[in-house]
Structure 1
Amino acid sequence: MRRNVLRHVGGLALLAILFLGATGCVSPEAFKVSEACGTEVDPGLIGQLLPRGDELKTKDTFSEPKQPRCEFEVDGEERVGLRGDVVEPFVKPLEVNADGMRRLGNPAPADIGDGATIADHGGMALRACTYQGEKMQFVLAIDGVENPEETTERRRLLEEFLRSQLPVAMEAEGCRP
């Protein structure tokens, strides 16, 4: 009987050690961000694209009318950039930025707005709009994305983010479809 009790206690102790060890290895939760570049963002979606860490800062960088810009800084290091631009209708942003998209890895077209490119570490989408009574187009770009680690999932989330954020960012900038 004593042997069974010791075996039971030993088993419980081993489970406790395994549990405590496992909880110490859990990575931090995804950040919850509800605003970036002066616009609302889907907190669950953008958080999946950001690296894990202890501290997140969102900084507006060089923003001005027609050009909202912000950077996500994790643990003191700039990681992900988000940009919007209202541009003339004759500008071809996907062509102009083709080299930049290639640097982000394996660019491919996506069915978002009036055109989009999704790469391994970023993406860009655009849509025609009217800005202050003139025909223009709005371009939304994100880069520096390393999360999630699995590339197929990262690309899926980038596409989902651009699809959901493009109309929100356009509206915030006063660019009407």
Structure 2
Amino acid sequence: MPVMRVIPVIRPRRVRHTAAVVTLGALLMGATAGCSDARGYEVPAELCGVPADTGRLSPLLPDGDAIEQKENELGQGSRSCRLSVDSRQVLYVRADVVPADTDPVKVNEHALIGLGNPQPAGIGDDARIADKGALAVVACPADPQKRKFVLEADLATKTPEDTADRRRALTRFLEAYLPQALKKRGCTA
């Protein structure tokens, strides 16, 4: 009697192939979704009544559905503006007028250190750019007491994600926003 051998039948592994295709498809969809603009709001052209360059403000704002601004009069020439995306604060801007003999950088030294590695910047009369915020100072020439105008910007999110990009974005924002804030305050000659 002849000996029968059992020869295993090798079947293609469609289940694994199908799973791999589905996984690859999901990854590709996720990658393209990450590339799309996930903003459901328009970048504001003003921050609490002060004109803002949308191209310079945009990199500092995260994706989301809705943006909201809240302005506060803090007294004695001080104002603040809070920007929130989806009810979460993302940017705080404060404008103050301080006496001529005040050194705002020195007064805010600990806060600046808390914002991460503050470095001098060529904005106004004196400025510091940190990892999560900035401060700029300029004399107010129209003020009879020669007081100083101080502008602070604090980020509550890491937007942009890369620290060097965030610092560049903060610098560009302050360069454009400071003259507008000075004008709004009446500090221009």
TM-score, normalized by length of structure 1? Answer: 0.82
Q: Which whole-Å deviations, capped at 9, do the CAs of 1:123-172 have from their partners, x for residues lacking one?
A: 00010013453311111110025210000010011111111111110110
Is the aligned partner of 1:114 residue 2:125? yes
Q: 1:152 to 1:22 in 2, by over 3 A?
A: closer
CA distance in 2, matches of 1:65, 1:173: 12
Gapped regions of structure 2 (runs ≥ 5): 1-21
1:88-131 deviation line (CA, Å, top 9, x unaligned)? 11111000001000000011111111000000000000100134
- Return the TM-score normalized by structure 2: 0.77
Q: Which runs of 5+ in 1 are unaligned?
A: 1-13
Q: 2:164 aligns with which of 140, 149, 152?
A: 152
1:134 counterpart letter in structure 2: Q
* Preserved contact between residue 38 and residue 64 of structure 2 (Cα < 8 Å): yes
Deviation track 1:47-73 (CA, whole Å, cap 9, x = no partner) reads 210121111101112454621211011
> Is the Cα–Cα contact under 8 Å of residues 31 and 47 in structure 1 kept in the other structure?
no
Cα shift at 1:37: 2.7
Match of 2:187 in 1: 175
Which protein is bigger by CA-based radius of gyration? 2
Q: Which residue of 1 aligns with 2:107?
A: 96
Q: CA deviation at 1:21?
A: 5.5
Quick one: which amino acid aligns to residue 47 of structure 1?
A: S
The residue aligned with 1:7 is none
CA contact (8 A) 1:37 1:68 kept: no
> Tell me, what secondary structure is at the counterpart of 1:134?
coil
Letter in 1 for 2:63: R
* Structure 1 contact 110–118 (Cα < 8 Å) conserved: yes
RMSD of equivalent CA atoms: 2.3
Shift of 1:31: 4.3
